[in-house]
Amino acid sequence: MNFLDSEKMAGILESRGFLMSKDEKKCDIFIFNTCSVREKAEEKLFSYLGRLKKRKRDRNLLIGVCGCVAQVEGNRILKRAPYVDFILGTRSFHKIGDVVEYLIENYGEKIIDIEMDSSPYPPEVKEIKRNELFREYVLIMEGCNNFCSYCIVPYTRGRERSRRLINIVDEVKRYVNVGAIEINLLGQNVNSYRDPEGYDFPDLLSEVSKIEGLKRIRFTTSHPKDFNEKLLSVILSRKNICKHIHLPPQSGSNRVLKLMNRKYTREEYLEKINMIKKSGIEFGISGDFIVGFPTEREDDFNETMSLLDKVKYSSIFSFKYSPRKGTYAEKNFKDMDEDIKLKRLMTLQNFQKEIQLKLNREKVGKIYEVLVESISKKGETLMGRTEQNYIVNFKGDESLIGKIVSVKITDYSAQTLKGKIIY
Ligand code: SAH
Ligand code: SF4
pLDDT tens digits for 59-97?
899 999 999 999 999 999 999 999 999 999 999 999 999
* CA 325 to ligand 2 center in whole angstroms: 15
- Is residue 75 located within the same domain as residue 177? no
Q: List pLDDT tens digits, range 244-280.
A: 999 999 999 999 999 999 999 999 999 999 999 999 9
- Is residue 162 located within the same domain as residue 233? yes
> What is the percent of the chain with per-residue pLDDT over 90, rounded to a whole number?
91
- Is residue 160 located within the same domain as residue 267? yes
- Is residue 73 located within the same domain as residue 198? no
Q: What is the pLDDT of residue 40?
A: 84
Domain total of the chain: 3
pLDDT band for 41, please (50, 70, 90 cuts).
Answer: confident
- Is residue 258 located within the same domain as residue 376? no
Report yes or no: 348 and 304 within 8 Å, Cβ to Cβ. Answer: yes
**Boundary of a domain, candidates 312, 340, 361:** 361
Residue 173 falls within a domain, yes or no?
Answer: yes
Residue 126 falls within a domain, yes or no?
Answer: no
pLDDT (mean) for 21-35: 93
* CA 268 to ligand 2 center in whole angstroms: 18
- Is residue 327 located within the same domain as residue 196? yes
Q: Does the beta carbon of 248 lie inside 6 Å of ligand 1?
A: yes
If one residue of 147, 191, 246 were mutated to test the ligand 2 pocket, choosing by the most ligand atoms within 8 A of its CB, it would be 147
Taking CA atoms only, the protein residue closest to ligand 2 atom 2 is: 148
Residue 378 falls within a domain, yes or no?
Answer: yes
- Is residue 390 located within the same domain as residue 283? no
- Is residue 328 located within the same domain as residue 394? no
pLDDT band for 58, please (50, 70, 90 cuts).
Answer: confident
If one residue of 151, 327, 338 were mutated to test the ligand 1 pocket, choosing by the most ligand atoms within 8 A of its CB, it would be 151
pTM of the prediction? 0.95
Taking CA atoms only, the protein residue closest to ligand 2 atom 1 is: 151
Residue 125 falls within a domain, yes or no?
Answer: no
Q: Does the beta carbon of 319 lie inside 6 Å of ligand 1?
A: yes
What is the domain extent for residue 395?
Answer: 367-421
Domain CATH for 154: 3.80.30.20
Give residue ranges with CB within 6 A of ligand 2.
144, 146-148, 151, 153-154, 188-189, 223
Domain CATH for 394: 2.40.50.140
* CA 420 to ligand 2 center in whole angstroms: 40
- Is residue 357 located within the same domain as residue 381? no
If one residue of 150, 191, 223 were mutated to test the ligand 2 pocket, choosing by the most ligand atoms within 8 A of its CB, it would be 223
